[in-house]
Structure 1
Amino acid sequence: MLLVIASLLFIALSWFRTKSLKIIPFYICIAGAVYIFELVIFVLLNSYYYKPGILRNSFYDSAIGSIVSNGFIVPSTCTLIAAYGIRFRWVLLIAVGFMGIEQTFIYLGVFEHHWWKIIYTGTGLILLPLMGRWLWKKLCQANQPYLIRLIVLYIINVSLQGTFMSGLLLLFHQIGFRPGWFEDPARDNLAFATLIVHIDSVLFALLISLRGNWIWKAIVIGLLGCGYWWLSLRDILYTSGIGLVLLLLMLQIVVIQLLGGLHRIIVEKSAVLLRREN
């Protein structure tokens, strides 16, 4: 809870500094970039294990810990660094601070490494803010290249839809995926759901960046519905009823609308004052 409060404070301070709504898609994009990285190291490669003690299922419980850490405090810190133009030596100090917090969590028994090492965390928390500062400058330009906008929309959708999809799977145990990739059903479920999110993100990013109208949006949602029907025939998608599938499709419609709103913020030509860095 303290990490979530600190994250909200960092975002508020970033808004106070920039006075730009672009800080919102920037933050979500950074969170999405972390999500993509977590797919590889956490879901697929089993890098570490959280023990927040919130859910009974151990993998889902670990996923909750990962979402709080990597979906809130890490991207909000990177947002603060970009908004204030914090210099490299302070970025190093912040990375060391995170390494100390991670070591404390290990000591308290709420975090456990498998093959992951603390130095990897420190390295990532040096590189990510540097990439974030570059991206913030791009977003603050009056006109961004189309490829930049497409990639940003893709990553934002990974963050948004990944959060909605994870929430649906964690709260409603009567719907999920079982492709048979892993022995642990929970890990199997989240891994395949993440693949779905990435495929959808490509479609949604293209749809919004090319300013598709409601007809194209309906076609995309219809294709997703057909895809879920096919997965259910293959016994990869399991559900207690069609209502949960319709709920999933409704959440994806909400994501499309949110993505459209964030895209309008991204392409705004309003001037944004940046702190001059030496």
Structure 2
Amino acid sequence: MPGDDFIPPFLPYLLLVIASLAFIALSWFKTKSLKLIPFYICIAGAVYIFELIIFVLLNSYIYKPGILHNSFYDSALGAIVSNGFIVPSTCAFIAVYGVRFRWILLIAAGFMGIEQAFIHLGIFEHHWWRTIYTGIGLTLLFPMGKWLWNSLLRPDQPYLFRFVMLYVINVSLQGTVMSCFLLIFYRIGFRPGWFEDPARDNLAFATLIVHIDSILFALLVSLRGNWIWKAIVIVSLACGYWWLIRRDILYTSGIGLVILLLMLQIVVIQLLGRLYRIITTTMLSRRREC
């Protein structure tokens, strides 16, 4: 690889994470609003949903940070740097500072330059993807981020807006939790038989589970379900996992790992509820005043 003799593969990815933290800090200093948290997670979730199609299902490209031995899991870790850090943090910076479209075009071009540099260093590889697609995608995403931020600050938000935002936020939250869980606890996973690569097969089915759960969780939180409804959802998930085990789609070395996964999902539900209160803060304040 061209970059192997000069720098370790993970270093450029680390620099992107550091740049992301700088963008997040600058965005926070500008707005000092907790709404920045659900906004950031929502943008990350939107990118995750897009990458489910092009990265996991259609094998568009591969990241090579050189951290994990399994090539697909290593690529997924590189995707987290892109989807969970640099893209949403840049989008947050653009939205909070109201960056104009001509500067958005320049920033998108900068991302294209970084992508080409990563390809030259041998730490990123295209399959059928092209760099221009990245530029087009970001040129669309960043203005959408500005619209989402302005809508989030409005006092009255339609229910559908809040529901969709909760859904996308949960995709980001639970997708990260599920991916890390499967990477750490390799004795549990999914094998639906969709792909020859077991790692790709595992993450693809896990992502489907995340999307189904996100609909349930978004409904549960947006309709302010009490502990009874939360218990019903968790029991339903447990029954679903039991059915997958019986069908040999979910494999595990022990029931304790399944219980741990359910406990993590309970934590996600509670966190989603807190984020929902942040999203609706202005709405609730106005209703109390009335």
If the TM-score is normalised by the length of the shorter chain, which range does it land in?
Answer: over 0.9
Is 1:221 aligned to residue 234 of structure 2?
Answer: yes
Residue type matched to 1:44 in 2?
Answer: L
1:71 Cα deviation from its structure 2 partner: 1.2
What does the per-residue CA deviation read over 1:13-53, in whole Å, with 9 as the maximum and x for residues that have no partner? Answer: 11111121000000000000000000000000000011111
What does the per-residue CA deviation read over 1:133-165, in whole Å, with 9 as the maximum and x for residues that have no partner? Answer: 111111001121000000000000000000000
- Picking from 93, 99, 104, the partner of 2:106 is 93
Higher relative contact order, structure no. (Cα contacts within 8 Å, ≥ 6 residues apart): 1
1:176 alignment partner, SS class:
strand
TM-score of the aligned structures, taking structure 2 as reference length: 0.92
Match of 1:203 in 2: 216
**Please, what is the CA RMSD of the aligned residues?**
0.7
Stretches of structure 1 that go unaligned for 5 or more consecutive residues are: 271-278
Distance in 2 (CA, whole Å) between partners of 1:218 and 1:126 is: 42
- Picking from 123, 133, 140, the partner of 1:120 is 133
Is 1:187 aligned to residue 200 of structure 2?
Answer: yes
1:238 alignment partner, SS class:
strand
Distance in 2 (CA, whole Å) between partners of 1:194 and 1:106 is: 27
What does the per-residue CA deviation read over 1:151-195, in whole Å, with 9 as the maximum and x for residues that have no partner? Answer: 000000000000000000111100000000000000000000000
Match of 2:87 in 1: 74
Match of 1:275 in 2: none
1:255-270 to structure 2, matched below 5 A, reads: 255-269=268-282
TM-score of the aligned structures, taking structure 1 as reference length: 0.96
| Identity over aligned pairs, percent | 79
Is 1:138 aligned to residue 151 of structure 2?
Answer: yes
Distance in 1 (CA, whole Å) between partners of 2:38 and 2:20 is: 15
Distance in 2 (CA, whole Å) between partners of 1:35 and 1:27 is: 12
Distance in 1 (CA, whole Å) between partners of 2:256 and 2:21 is: 34
Is 1:54 aligned to residue 67 of structure 2?
Answer: yes
Match of 2:32 in 1: 19
Distance in 2 (CA, whole Å) between partners of 1:19 and 1:168 is: 32
1:112 alignment partner, SS class:
strand
Distance in 1 (CA, whole Å) between partners of 2:31 and 2:137 is: 25
